C-alpha cells in the first residue's frame, strides 16, 4: 500500500508542501503543476505527464530502449516525429546519445508507458537552439511511448551480491558515524537493484528485502546527517513496501519534527504507537514532541501578540 493509504489512517494530518532541497527529485517525481505535469527536477526544467501507465520497474542507466515519439514546440507544432517516419527510435539510457531531458525523463518511465516530457532549454538545445525549427532557449515537449526495453547485461544474481556487499560496507561507515560515506554507498547499492527484470521469484523476494533494508538504513543515515527532507523521502520509500514499519514511522516523525511539522510528527508517532503499543521509546518521544509542539505554539502566540499590540500579553 502506498503513502496515501497510510495518510488515510492519520486522523489529523498536517501535510506540508516542503520544497525539495536537492535538484533531482525521486523517480516518482515531486509536486504537480497547474497543467498536470509532475516535476522531475525541483526547478521545473524537466516535467512529465503520464498519458498511459506502464508496467514493471523504471529504467537504469544502460537500458536499451525502443520508442516512438513526437516532438512539439510551445505552440503545439510538431517539429519531429518517429511516427510520421514510421520508424521507431532506439538509444541507450545514460550514455549521452540523446538530449539530457530524454536521458533523465525516459529513465523514469516503464515498459509500455506513454508520457509527455516537458524539457527546459538547459536539458534540450540550450541557448543555440537547432535551426531551422527550434529557436534559442526553447522549451520542448515530447510525447514518448516505450515500445520495448532491454536491461543491462549484468546478471541479477551479480547485482544482488554487489548490493549486499555495498550494504555491509555502508553499515561500517554508519557505525563509525561517517554518515556522508554511508549515504553515498547505500544510494549506489539501491541503484544496483533498481530493477528486477528476469528475476526468479526467490530473487524478487531477495531484492525487495534488500531494498527495504537499504532505504531504512539510508533514512537513518540522512537523519543523523541532518538531511531531513531526504530522510523523509527514504522513510516513505520504506513505508511503500511495509506500511507498518515502526522504525520508518519513528524516523519520519523525527525528521518532520526537525522540519517544524509538529502535527505530522505527532501523527506518525501515534500510528507507530498503534502498531507497537508496548514500545516505551515511542511513548516517550510522543510525549516529548507534544510538549515541544505546545511550547512552539505558545512562543508563536507571544510573537503574534507582540506584533499586534507592541508588547507581550500576560
pLDDT in tens, 283-312: 999 999 998 878 777 776 677 667 766 654
Active-site residue identified among 41, 93, 99, 134: 99
Q: Which residues contact 294 (CB under 8 A, 6 or more apart)?
A: none
Q: Quick check: is 99 catalytic?
A: yes
Alpha-carbon distance of 235 to 181, in angstroms, equals: 19
| Regions of the chain with pLDDT less than 70 | 1-29, 300-301, 304-305, 308-314
Q: Quick check: is 80 catalytic?
A: yes
What is 104-156 written as a DSSP string? HHHTT--BT-EEEEEE-GGGTTTTT-BTTTB-TT--EEEEEEEEEEE--SS-H
Question: pTM of the entire structure?
Answer: 0.59
pLDDT in tens, 257-290: 999 999 999 999 999 999 999 999 999 999 999 9
Structural domains of the chain sorted by starting position, each given as residue range(s) with its CATH number in brackets:
3-17+155-303 (1.25.40.10), 38-150 (3.10.50.40)
Active-site residue identified among 6, 41, 57, 125: 125
Active-site residue identified among 64, 79, 89, 91: 79
Amino acid at each position: 500500500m502506498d503513502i496515501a493509504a497510510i495518510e488515510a489512517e492519520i486522523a489529523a494530518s498536517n501535510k506540508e508542501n516542503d520544497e525539495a532541497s536537492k535538484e533531482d527529485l525521486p523517480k516518482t517525481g515531486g509536486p504537480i503543476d497547474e497543467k498536470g505535469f509532475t516535476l522531475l527536477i525541483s526547478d521545473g526544467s524537466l516535467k512529465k505527464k503520464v498519458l498511459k501507465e506502464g508496467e514493471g520497474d523504471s529504467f537504469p542507466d544502460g537500458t536499451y530502449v525502443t520508442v516512438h515519439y513526437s516532438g512539439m514546440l510551445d505552440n503545439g507544432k510538431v517539429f519531429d516525429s518517429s511516427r510520421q517516419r514510421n520508424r521507431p527510435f532506439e538509444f541507450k539510457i545514460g550514455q549521452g546519445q540523446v538530449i539530457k531531458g530524454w536521458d533523465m525523463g525516459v529513465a523514469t518511465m516503464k515498459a509500455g508507458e506513454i508520457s509527455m516530457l516537458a524539457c527546459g532549454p538547459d536539458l534540450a538545445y540550450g541557448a543555440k537552439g537547432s535551426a531551422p525549427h527550434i529557436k534559442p532557449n526553447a522549451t520542448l515537449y515530447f510525447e514518448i511511448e516505450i515500445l520495448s526495453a532491454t536491461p543491462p547485461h549484468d546478471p541479477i544474481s551479480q547485482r544482488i551480491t554487489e548490493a549486499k556487499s555495498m550494504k555491509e560496507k555502508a553499515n561500517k561507515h554508519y557505525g563509525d558515524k561517517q554518515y556522508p560515506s554511508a549515504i553515498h554507498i547505500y544510494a549506489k547499492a539501491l541503484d544496483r537493484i533498481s530493477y528486477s527484470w528476469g528475476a526468479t521469484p526467490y530473487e524478487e523476494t531477495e531484492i525487495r528485502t534488500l531494498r527495504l533494508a537499504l532505504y531504512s538504513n539510508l533514512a537513518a543515515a540522512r537523519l543523523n546527517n541532518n538531511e531531513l527532507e531526504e530522510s523523509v523521502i527514504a522513510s516513505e520509500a520504506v513505508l511503500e513496501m511495509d506500511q507498518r514499519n515502526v522504525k520508518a514511522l519513528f524516523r519520519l516523525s523525527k525528521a518532520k519534527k526537525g522540519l517544524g511539522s509538529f502535527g505530522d510528527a505527532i501523527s506518525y508517532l501515534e500510528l507507530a504507537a498503534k502498531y507497537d503499543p508496548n514500545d516505551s521509546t515511542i511513548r516517550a518521544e510522543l510525549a516529548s514532541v507534544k510538549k515541544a509542539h505546545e511550547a512552539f505554539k505558545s512562543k508563536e502566540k507571544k510573537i503574534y501578540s507582540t506584533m499586534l499590540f507592541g508588547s507581550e500579553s500576560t
